Structure 1
Amino acid sequence: MKIAAIDIGSNAARMQISRVLENDGKISFKKVEYVRFALRLGHDVFNDGEISPESEVRIFKLLNAYKLLMDLHEVKDYLICATSAMREAGNANAIVTRIQNILDMKIHIIDGSKEAELINDVVVQALDDSNYLHIDVGGGSTELNIYSGRKKVASRSFKIGSVRLLEHKEREGDWEKMKKWIEMHIDPEKSEITAVGTGGNINKLFNLSVNHEKDTSISIKELTRLKDYVAGFTYEERINKLRLNADRADVIVPAAEIYLNAMKWAGAKYILVPDLGLKDGIIKMVYEKIQNRKKGA
């Protein structure tokens, strides 16, 4: 059985198709298809408050392409979740309605807490009983979650994201709010804490690190070095020399600043990079929805 997740973010829209595997009573998901396209909805919304007609056309075309690909894979079920940019777009509900009427595809606009919950459901599986600060940086928002003994003890969403910073659309005081929240919940003198990073930018920075094939984490010192290294290249050089995607090349440095600030305020010396994200949480939710339907049948 194959299932799919579509994540419409502020920077890009991703679709992952996974096969459900069962081995000795344990369920796992094997990725069989992954497609990412830079919609850059945050550029419209954070500047103008709405998704432009041109971007709406691209959403239609992309979802239609995703629908055809899911048909080819004979996907049993799927779910579409949209995050920060569509949460804030004044015309989001009208677009969702038009897409459902024309393509018969329903977009679920989820709030920051639901976004964090879906990511947490898969990230927690990569943790042990130590203390962790989970930092998920998107284009329009950053979700922070604190874990102790594999249990979430605090959670908060902040309107600070890579695209929002790139467009200089963060609000005055947002950084200070994040700093105060972290310092209120974490005392590095009482207990050691490790950061956990999710999001495309931390994955790319991790892959640029010297020990990425040996370790699953990088130090704050190495992450600082990587940020400065990438920042030393022009936008064109990042694309041609570092081989970054065009929509990654401009947001990767602002994203790195978010991870580094959160780590510094929490006193975290290392950041674990498990290569998990919202799409993986959506996949898990789709599978659970199918199982619940079977139980109700």
Structure 2
Amino acid sequence: MKLAAIDIGSNAVRLQITRVLEYEKVITFKKLEYVRFPLRLGHDVFSEGRISEYNEERFFKLMTAYKNLIDLYEIDGYFGCATSAMRESENGREIVDRVYQELGIDIKIISGDEEAEMINKVILQGLDNAHYIHIDVGGGSTELNIYENHEKVYSHSFKIGSVRTLEGRDTPEAWQEMREWVGKYAFKKGQKIEAVGTGGNINKLFELSGSSPKSRKMSLETLTKTQDVLKNLTLEDRLNKLQLNPDRADVIIPASDIYVAVMKAAKAKKIIVPDVGLKDGINYHLYQTKHPESDKVFVKN
């Protein structure tokens, strides 16, 4: 079985095509194709409230290219979802309707809660019964989830994200609300909590930190040291010395601020970086839709 996930974020638009591998009680997704295009729809939306005609046309061209890849791979199912930039845009619904009418690609504009739930499906399967706070930082929003005894007990979406913060469209009130929420629901005196981080920026921070790729864990101290190194580099240095992509080099610092702020508010000393994200959640959602009776679990390939 071949599946395709389209993730339309505030910073980039991703397509991942996978083959589902099934063995006994486990499924894994073998990546056949992965394309990430830095369209940065959030730049328009967070400053002007709508997607510009220029970026609407670029988005349409990108969806045309993705449709061609989906057709060429002869997939068995796909799911396209758009997150904070598209759901906050005045013309977001109009644009996804046009894509459906002209290309036949059905895109769902999902809420922050729906976004978090899709990621939860794959995150939970790698956790034990301990106490965790899951931090998913996107371009326009941050989703936080609290897990206890292998169940999600609290969740909330905040209008704080890497692109939104870079553009200066975040607010002190939103940051205060997030810290207060974490303090209320995540921090429990005498109870240890670990963070789980998802999103492209935490994966890059983990890579830059030099932490062990086998453990997929990074201490708060290591994260803040990596953050300090980045803050002491110019944008040109981050582009040329670290060879970061342009759309990563400018947002990685505001993204790191979010992870650090949440970890400090929760008193979390370590963060697990499992290298899974919304695209994996989409594929698992697709698999479950096609096999609702299945009790097989997802394992990261």
Distance, in Å, in 2 between the alignment partners of 1:130 and 1:263 is 16
**TM-score normalised by the chain length of structure 2:** 0.95
Question: Runs (4+) of structure 1 moved beyond 6 Å?
Answer: none
TM-score scaled to structure 1, two decimals?
0.96
DSSP-derived class of the 1:79 partner: strand
Partner of 1:128: 128
Letter in 2 for 1:38: P
* Aligned partner letter, 1:39: L
| C-alpha displacement of 1:238 | 0.8
Give the distance between the partners of 2:21 and 2:105, measured in 1 at CA.
Answer: 26
CA shift for structure 1 position 188: 4.2
Aligned to 1:24: 24
Deviations 1:223-276 (A, max 9, x none): 001111111111121111101111000000000000000000000000000001
Q: Which residue of 2 aligns with 1:234?
A: 234
Please report how far the alpha carbon of residue 124 of structure 1 lies from its aligned counterpart in structure 2 after TM superposition: 0.6
- Whichever residue aligns with residue 144 of structure 2, its letter is L
Q: Distance in 2 between matches of 1:293 and 1:146?
A: 27
Aligned residue in 2 for 1:251: 251
Cα displacement (A) at 1:213: 2.8
- CA apart distance, 1:106: 1.1
Partner residue, 1:35: 35
| Matching residue of 1:194 | 194
Is the CA contact (8 Å cut-off) linking 2:187 and 2:265 kept in structure 1? no
Structure 2 residue identity aligned to 1:260? V
1:93 Cα deviation from its structure 2 partner: 1.0
Q: Which whole-Å CA distance do the structure 1 matches of 2:46 and 2:259 have between them?
A: 21
Identify the residue that residue 63 of structure 2 maps to in structure 1.
Answer: 63
Q: Deviations over 1:79-113 (max 9, x none)?
A: 10000000100001111111111111111000000
* Residue in structure 2 matched with residue 9 of structure 1 by the alignment: 9
Q: Secondary structure at the match of 2:160?
A: coil
Aligned to 2:103: 103
Q: Percent identity over the alignment?
A: 55
Distance 1:215 1:163 in 2: 29
The answer for unaligned runs of 5 or more in structure 1 is none
Q: Aligned-pair distance for 1:116?
A: 0.5
Report the secondary structure of 2:36's partner residue.
strand
Instruction: Please list every run of 5 or more consecutive structure 2 residues that lacks an aligned counterpart in the other structure.
Output: 295-301
Partners of 1:229 and 1:290 in 2: CA distance: 46
**CA 1:188–1:219 in structure 2 vs 1: closer, same or farther (change >3 Å)?**
farther
| Cα deviations by residue, 1:60-94 (Å, 9 ceiling, x for unpaired) | 11111111111221111101000000010000111
Residue-by-residue CA offset, 1:20-68 (whole Å, 9 max, x unaligned): 1111243222122111000100000000000000111111111111111
